[in-house]
Amino acid sequence: GCKVLAATNGRSCSEYCSSSGRSCKGAWEDTWDDCNVKFPWQCDQPLGGTSDLICECGAGAPVQADNTKMCSAMPDVKRSCSSDGCKVLAATNGRSCSEYCGASGRQCAGAWEEVWDDCKEKFVWNCDQPLGGTSDLICE
C-alpha cells in the first residue's frame, strides 16, 4: 500500500483511496501538515476541522456485496456488532485487526477498543496495531 498526507477536504480516507481505485487500509490525523501521527482515525469517517488526513491505500478497491451474511464465517467472534457480521468483537489474542481480518481473506476497515465485552466503542484504534492489555478488539 501507499501512505500519504492527503488533501481530503472533508472526505474520508476511504473516499480518497477509492477515487484512485484503491481501498483504505489506515487513517490518521497528522500533527501539523506532515506525516507525523497525532492520533489514529477511521478509514470511513471524515474528520471535521482539518483539510487533510494521513491515508494508507491498499492495492485494490474492496469487493462490494449485497449479501447480508457476507461475513458470517468470521472466526473467533465473541459478539456480532453489525447486521452483515463484518463488524465484530473478536478474540484477537495479541493480533491486530488487520491480522485478524487478513486470516479470513478480508481487509480491516476499522478497529476499536470496546467498553466491556460489548459492541460499545471505548476509543478508535489502528487496524495495524495490536492493543496490549486486552485479548479482544472490535474489528470491521
Q: What would the pLDDT profile of 4-44 be if each residue is shown by its tens digit?
A: 888 888 889 888 887 777 788 899 999 888 888 899 999 98
Q: 63 pLDDT band (50/70/90 cuts)?
A: very low
pLDDT for res 70: 63
Phi-psi region of 95 (alpha: psi -120 to 50; beta: other; left: phi over 0): beta
Tell me: pLDDT of 48 over 90: no
Share the mean pLDDT of the chain. 84
Tell me: pLDDT of 96 over 90: yes
DSSP 64: P
pLDDT for res 1: 56
